[in-house]
Chain A
Amino acid sequence: MTLDGNAIGGLLLEIFATDLTSAETTCAVCGAVRPVAETTVYLRGPGTVVRCRSCTSVLMVITRVRGRNCVDLSGLEALDVRP
């Protein structure tokens, strides 16, 4: 299912204890800057994949392994929580 970062607001709230939908992402590949809410999100698979809407590079991957959330943010150059 292809949605946007609004759809993972609850998941990010659970992991980071703060609303991150308006946090600014910077893509490590193309440098595009946009809020989490406007990224492309792929849900319901083995994990949640967040991609840059400009170049489709992977920004974040969140999986749930044995009941724990595993978060990989290595596709982000930056995540600015209070732009």
Chain B
Amino acid sequence: MTSPVSRGFHRLSRPGDAQAAKLPPGQHVTTDFPVLSAGPTPHTPLREWSFSIRRGGRTLRAWTWPELMDLPAETVTVDIHCVTRWSKLGTVWRGVPVPALLDQVTHDAQYVLAFSDGGYTTNLPVQDVTGGQAWLAFDYDGQPLPPEHGGPARLLVPHLYFWKSAKWVRGIELLDHDQPGFWESYGYNNYGDPWREQRYAGD
């Protein structure tokens, strides 16, 4: 059965509204910033917050919030692409590049599993969080990152679908073998390149 057209109904942001920028396949531009979650918003007080790099059940290195604020941060403007098909262009973030953290430990891990307050996880190859591709972001649009968008700090990995930019991130686990995270375990693509439209497992 084909669905009847509802006369006069159209999506909120139409193709004509989009900037001339090239979008990954199947995406449309949004001007708002949808809040999508898999669970309740955590509210970890900054005095209790830490970010750890762990391996095999051990913490190799950890930073408190003041220690994170002492690290060199940069402001970046990036486009972000959610697997639910919205893209937001020209978003401005401030954060510490992930290599500034990872370079503080000696490791030969090939993969990382980012973990967050509330139990969310997502996996990435190590090379995707290095080389100017990933940040531990704490400011969005010139303001401290609000809790509903992942504050106090989230992972920012804009070259992949945005579920890889884990909200409320508290650390990364270094792994020898890839291990699927939350959405990867429920049918989503293990890598998630929006430009090759890798939404689901097997794409």
Interface residues of A (CB under 8 A from B): 1-2, 40, 42, 44-47, 49, 51, 56, 58, 61, 63, 65-66, 70, 72
Cβ–Cβ contact B40 & A45, under 8 A:
no
Q: Chain B nearest CB: distance from A57 CB in Å? A: 9
Residues of A within 8 A of B186 (CB): 46-47, 61, 63, 70, 72
Interchain pairs with CB closer than 8 A, number: 47
Among B40, B84, B119, point to the contact of A44 (Cβ < 8 A): B84
B-chain residues with CB within 8 Å of residue A63 when the two chains form the complex:
183, 186-188
State the 10 A-B residue pairs at the shortest beta-carbon distance, nearest first. A45-B36, A65-B187, A49-B38, A65-B200, A63-B187, A70-B187, A61-B186, A63-B186, A46-B183, A46-B83
Q: Which residue of the partner chain, among B40, B119, B187, contacts A2 with CB atoms under 8 Å?
A: B40
Chain B residues near A (Cβ < 8 Å): 34-40, 83-84, 118-119, 163, 183, 186-188, 200-201
**Interfacial chain B residues near A65, Cβ < 8 Å:** 187-188, 200-201
Return the chain B residue nearest A48 by Cβ.
Answer: B38
A3 to chain B, nearest CB (A): 12
Docked complex Cα distance between A78 and B195 (Å):
41
Which residues of A have CB within 8 Å of B38? 42, 45, 47, 49
| A28–chain B nearest beta-carbon distance, Å | 14
Q: Give the docked Cα–Cα distance between A56 and B118 (Å).
A: 9
The distance in angstroms between the C-alpha atoms of A24 and B163, with both chains bound, is 31
Q: Which residues on the B side are within 8 Å of A46 (C-beta)?
A: 36, 83-84, 163, 183, 186, 188
